[in-house]
Amino acid sequence: MNLIIFGPPGAGKGTQSNFIVNKYDLFQLSTGRILREEVKNKTELGIKIDSLMSSGSLIENKIVNKLIEGFVSNIKYKNRFIFDGYPRNIEQANNLDALLQKYEQKIDLVLDLSVSLDIVKKRISGRSACSICGKIYNDFFNTPPKNSSCCDSKFLQKRSDDTLDIAVKRFQTYEKNMDPLIKFYKDLNLLKSVNGERTISQISAEISGIIDSIEG
Q: CA-CA distances (angstroms) from residue 89 to 6, 67, 92, 103, 179?
A: 12, 16, 5, 21, 9
For the segment 7-25, what is each residue's pLDDT rounded down to a tens digit? Answer: 988 888 888 999 999 999 9
Residue 142 maps to a domain: no
Number of domains in the chain: 1
H or E stretch at 71: helix 61-72
Residue 76 maps to a domain: yes
pLDDT of 78: 95
Residue 15 maps to a domain: yes
Residue 166 maps to a domain: no
Distance CA 60, CA 29 (A): 18
Burial of 196 (0-12, 13-18, 19+ CB in 10 A): buried
pLDDT of 216: 59
Q: How confident is the model at residue 99 (pLDDT cuts 50, 70, 90)?
A: very high
Residue 203 maps to a domain: yes
pLDDT of 58 strictly over 70 = no
Residue 73 maps to a domain: yes
Phi/psi of residue 202, nearest 5 degrees: -65, -40
Burial of 37 (0-12, 13-18, 19+ CB in 10 A): middle
Predicted TM-score of the model (pTM): 0.81
Distance CA 170, CA 101 (A): 33
* Residue 38: domain span: 3-116+176-215
CATH number at residue 56: 3.40.50.300
pLDDT of 131: 85
pLDDT of 163: 81
For the segment 200-216, what is each residue's pLDDT rounded down to a tens digit? Answer: 899 999 999 999 998 75
pLDDT of 148: 67
